[in-house]
Structure 1
């Protein structure tokens, strides 16, 4: 694999809070864009191109009517939960190609309440089908977590530790949806949706928007004294044998996970290894996903997660902070904005601007990972 010598820097980030709001996804997207512009110290007329992603909106490019009809190139993308990670990759790669100097990646979404339980109605199924934990997505999450915990001797209590940690982190994040702590016991004793996953081990589809402005690294000093560099952004799909939602009859082989390949490709492109990562944002659609993705991104070996969680390694003050803004469990997941939220948090942490949730060891390298059904994964590496 070859890559351009052009380096890419992030000079501005903007995040509309995640939750439930009396406004459209497009309005939230416009607000996130303006926050990113303010952060970068540029105006909309300075942006030369954009990539935008959404699940609910078929034409995210229409956000330009709210921020300025300047005639820029704008491409809409959708890649399930990897949607905004795809926007990030395409924005960075377009700059690396030398076609433009400065561009923006945008994500926005507005999902209905209780989408995990209400979506069966769109398939002609009664509401109780989802309420009983029988929707295919949550079934898959439960089966995947159950197999992984069984194979690597990890307890259900460790899942509760993940959820409790992320909810604690969410309390420190003014942009989070869920800002209330729950004890590990409360999480374990909440209704089981799909064993071993209980109600509070899941994220909630919700609303929000995020934007990231990038430019050629050699001009970043014109805009900021604290550029954050996009060292790599790689996307991979699954291989035959991956354990996947929506059907596969192949024998299960965990090494086939697209996250494994996306992470390996990102480390190679960045010229580093997982041992160099100081902070991580991992897809935690459920608590089991965070545990699985810790190993799939190379941050630990399979089965080491229980001890790492017990020792506090993944806490904000630990040796490997994970999901310092609360992750999906605290923020929820507006699909089009989720990966950009991860990058927003990494940028804030690397700059030392994360407030109460700032990692005290001054992180210099971060990884963001997202995974979208039916088997698309992304890994993005940022550094100072």
Structure 2
């Protein structure tokens, strides 16, 4: 018996940002209802759900807002790779015959400040964050500093990425940061962890996203423009990889989990990097997007300088990246972030992205997540 295709038939989003006393579960329920409406169906049609969150200890409690239908609902957490993991699990449930219609939902409500300011995260004392030694910002600063040195890439390239993402955010109604900044303003901003300045980082915030999936042969019962999940792959780090808990180690021949996940996804989908028309890459900071261009196979190490100078990753370029502004414009509510990427790619492939729509009738889209200390999720979608 052949494995069924999996189609995305609806997507929904609760805007990212700060939303007062509104609970993460409420945001998640709103995103789920929006995705169901987009699919032209209702919650009782869903047979399984996977709900991702860092802050909500029992995200399955969302059924109290959506409906007590008794279906299996599983909580998911895998760092910043949570959204890709929940999508992968929902797609697998359909492929394995456990459900005809399934959902992936993500939501979070993070306090202000870098995650390491919370002593409960990674067991760090409170003074660690208060003195500026934020674990994640320090790691990404160390990583990109070494990468720029090793591959002859300038700090100005980081400013180009941040400025591009903030420009894209300024034309994205649901983005958190909607004010564009010049490369000069970004370079002159306070340094957080050299060489990364304030506007080269994303920030923790609040929001939710949701995706409705179904068996491929049922897709046109719901929508005239389904988007198919061609690959959804997850890989963790191997010994010797440069990762969060060993930032002082040199980069070795051991690839990042991103390299492993992307290679696996290309093989499963039966395509290569040149087939991708629009991409969402994890941009926890501008350096991450720069590195991930190479790790996902789109260019060689060190070629990013030329790519950025040519505008290759702009909305009108050969490979638009983070067309909605990515994490830099949206911030990162961890459970929702990866599904926000899926939301954007689905809109792009369906021609519904408005002012940020990629030209040339895109048919293949790509999403990538990197979750500390070292997990990567890659999804390839097509019409």
Bin of the TM-score, shorter chain as denominator length: over 0.9
- Counterpart position of 2:12: 14
Contact 2:366 2:379 in 1 (8 A): yes
- Counterpart position of 1:376: 375
Contact 2:3 2:96 in 1 (8 A): no
Structure 2 residues not aligned, in runs of 5+? none
Kindly provide the CA deviation profile for residues 311-330 of structure 1, in whole angstroms up to 9, marking residues without a partner as x: 11100011100000000000
- Counterpart position of 1:47: 46
Q: d(CA) in 2 for partners of 1:370 and 1:167? A: 19
Runs of 4 or more above 4 Å deviation: 248-251
Q: d(CA) in 2 for partners of 1:82 and 1:180? A: 27
- Counterpart position of 1:161: 160
Q: SS of the residue aligned with 2:118? A: helix
Pair 1:240 & 2:239 matched: yes
C-alpha distance 372-239 of structure 1, shift in aligned 2 (>3 A): same
Q: SS of the residue aligned with 1:256? A: coil
Contact 2:238 2:254 in 1 (8 A): no
Kindly provide the CA deviation profile for residues 180-210 of structure 1, in whole angstroms up to 9, marking residues without a partner as x: 0111001001011111100100000000000
Deviation at 1:152, TM superposition (A): 0.8
- Counterpart position of 1:170: 169
Q: Quick check: 113-122 or 325-334, which moved more?
A: 113-122
Deviation at 1:133, TM superposition (A): 3.4
Pair 1:71 & 2:74 matched: no
Contact 1:4 1:96 in 2 (8 A): no
- Counterpart position of 2:266: 267
Deviation at 1:78, TM superposition (A): 0.6
Q: SS of the residue aligned with 1:214? A: strand
Deviation at 1:251, TM superposition (A): 5.0
Q: SS of the residue aligned with 1:243? A: coil
Deviation at 1:118, TM superposition (A): 3.3
Contact 1:56 1:110 in 2 (8 A): yes
Alignment of 1:141-290 (within 5 A): 141-247=140-246, 251-253=250-252, 255-290=254-289
Contact 1:243 1:254 in 2 (8 A): no
Kindly provide the CA deviation profile for residues 150-169 of structure 1, in whole angstroms up to 9, marking residues without a partner as x: 11100000000000000000
C-alpha distance 286-131 of structure 1, shift in aligned 2 (>3 A): farther
Q: d(CA) in 1 for partners of 2:221 and 2:73? A: 24
- Counterpart position of 1:59: 58
Contact 1:82 1:372 in 2 (8 A): yes
Kindly provide the CA deviation profile for residues 278-331 of structure 1, in whole angstroms up to 9, marking residues without a partner as x: 010000000000000000000111111111111111000111000000000000
Pair 1:30 & 2:62 matched: no
Q: d(CA) in 1 for partners of 2:120 and 2:75? A: 28
Deviation at 1:134, TM superposition (A): 1.4
Q: d(CA) in 2 for partners of 1:363 and 1:69? A: 39
Q: d(CA) in 2 for partners of 1:120 and 1:161? A: 34
C-alpha distance 221-313 of structure 1, shift in aligned 2 (>3 A): same
CA RMSD in angstroms comes to 1.5
Kindly provide the CA deviation profile for residues 259-294 of structure 1, in whole angstroms up to 9, marking residues without a partner as x: 000000000000001110001000000000000000
Contact 1:203 1:286 in 2 (8 A): yes
Contact 1:55 1:335 in 2 (8 A): yes
Structure 1 residues not aligned, in runs of 5+? none
Q: d(CA) in 2 for partners of 1:124 and 1:87? A: 31
Contact 2:116 2:136 in 1 (8 A): no
TM-score, normalized by length of structure 1?
A: 0.96
Q: d(CA) in 2 for partners of 1:83 and 1:4? A: 28
C-alpha distance 154-61 of structure 1, shift in aligned 2 (>3 A): same
Contact 2:47 2:71 in 1 (8 A): yes
Deviation at 1:113, TM superposition (A): 1.1
TM-score, normalized by length of structure 2?
A: 0.96
